[in-house]
Amino acid sequence: MRLARWFVPVLALFAAPAIAGGMSNELLLSSAWCTFAYNKVSGKSTAKRATFASNGTWSQGTNSEGVSSNKYGSVYSQGGSNAAGAWRVHQGELYMSEGPGALQPVQTLLKRNSNGYPVIVADGIEYSQCR
């Protein structure tokens, strides 16, 4: 009986549908948003951290590093870049510009991870709250 009481809410959490759009100022301002990717073929890892400010600006830092090895040795690489622009949410949809350009819609999907925390999928890339 106890298992059934526990299992039903957990099952409902996993069954909760993702929400297309679903963006809000409060959600985006609640924390920085991070993503990490690793390519095991090339050995390159990329980490991004995006922040949204209440004045309608955003910024993102990207860091990457990798290693390539063969019988002659190894080559290590590092890189970084920054981007910034403006943003706003209108009727649950996110609009962003890069630099001083015009605001453009960003295809977003809001879902929850297994712990119930929000995950934003923006143009196919998953961003979680930075810890």
Q: What is the pLDDT of residue 70?
A: 84
Place of tokens 């059934």: 4
pLDDT tens profile 53-74: 999 999 999 999 998 888 898 8
User: Which pLDDT score is estimated for 7?
Assistant: 40
Fold that domain 14-129 belongs to in CATH: Lipocalin (2.40.128)
Residue spans of the domains in the chain: they are 14-129
Closest CA relative to residue 59, chosen from 87, 78, 37, 79 = 87
Whether the Cβ atoms of residue 47 and residue 39 lie closer than 8 Å to each other: no
Please give the pLDDT value at position 19.
72
Query: Token digits for 67?
Result: 């290693």
Looking at the chain, the whole-number percentage of residues with pLDDT higher than 70 is: 86
Whole-number pLDDT of residue 124: 92
Residue pointed to by tokens 């600006």: 57
- The model's pLDDT over 87-112, given as tens digits with 9 standing for 90+, comes to 999 999 999 999 999 999 999 999 99
Q: What average pLDDT score do residues 2-20 get?
A: 48
What global pTM score does this model have? 0.77
Cα gap 96→102, rounded to integer Å: 8
- The DSSP call for residue 24 is -
| Alpha helices for 16-131 (secondary structure H) | 25-29
Checking if the pLDDT of 38 tops 70, the result is: yes
The answer to whether the CB of 47 falls within 8 A of the CB of 71 is no
97 φ/ψ angles, rounded to the nearest 5 degrees: -125, 155
Average pLDDT over residues 3-18: 45
Residue 84 and residue 58: Cα distance in Å, rounded?
A: 5
